[in-house]
Amino acid sequence: MLEGRDLHKSFGRTRALRGAGVSVADGEILAVMGPSGSGKSTLLHCLGGVSRPDAGEVRFGGVRLDRLPDRELSRLRRTAFGFVFQFGQLVPELPLIENVALPLLLAGRARRPALAEAADWVARLGLDGLWDRLPGELSGGQAQVAAVARALVAGPRVVLADEPTGALDSVTADEVMELLVDTVRGQGASMVVVTHEPRVAAFADRTATVRDGRVVQPAGADLDGRSAGAR
């Protein structure tokens, strides 16, 4: 459903990706692990159309993302992809409810139904009573749950999570991951989660490791990167 083939990406003289390739099946949760600076976040950004590779292909449902015009790529990111980042990256000037509704508002949804849909997610994920709080008034766990709600509110087909628990203590991290995984599975979506934590990777169906800009396939994986044990 989502696949990167022979991806190369450089930042100046630094080669972040050197022929990386990975695929994610429909409904699958994939963990991408690797040391700091290995290229795993760059790989995630290329898969989500946030960054264009210098060479190689990114295919989503058969469509070449790396060849789409900027406007069409932006529209696809808003509707088909949900993003969760390490520090939530909520808009500090907006209350929680508007942060959650932001993808819908940016996609052109009328304000009232967008806020109503966001309110449903806020209630579903246990953030009732916090609607009007600014991000600075939330705990780390609350802010990250709000980021999860924002990522899921538009009904994405793929959730891309970059170190989603990196700023949380282990107990809160487990709670956020359980919530994220259960909700993604309930939506029938796929997810790619970048992490350096084995306890986070354990929530995934399959793990791929990035080293020096290349994906090291796990034992038992076929050429497309799918593990024989993937659920």
> pLDDT tens digits for 1-22?
899 999 999 999 999 999 999 9
Of 35 and 7, which is predicted with more confidence? 7
**35 has pLDDT over 50:** yes
Digit-coded pLDDT (tens) for 222-231: 434 444 333 3
Please tell me the predicted confidence (pLDDT) of residue 1.
87
**104 has pLDDT over 80:** yes
Digit-coded pLDDT (tens) for 155-191: 899 999 998 888 788 888 888 899 889 989 998 999 9
Digit-coded pLDDT (tens) for 45-89: 999 999 999 999 999 988 999 999 999 998 888 889 999 887 668
Of 190 and 35, which is predicted with more confidence? 190
Rounded Cα–Cα distance for residues 34 and 21 (Å)? 14
Structural domain spans, the chain: 25-51+69-216
Please tell me the predicted confidence (pLDDT) of residue 159.
95
What is this structure's pTM?
0.85
Residue 52, CA distances (Å) to 17, 44, 67, 93 in order: 12, 11, 9, 30
Architecture of the domain defined by 25-51+69-216? 3-Layer(aba) Sandwich (3.40)
Sole residue written with tokens 């997810």: 191
- Secondary element (H or E) of residue 198: helix 198-201
Helix (H, G, I), strand (E, B) or coil at 32: strand
- Can you name the residues that pair with 158 across neighbouring β-strands? 81, 190
When the pLDDT of each residue in the chain is averaged and rounded to a whole number, the result is 88
Across residues 31-53, what is the average pLDDT?
93
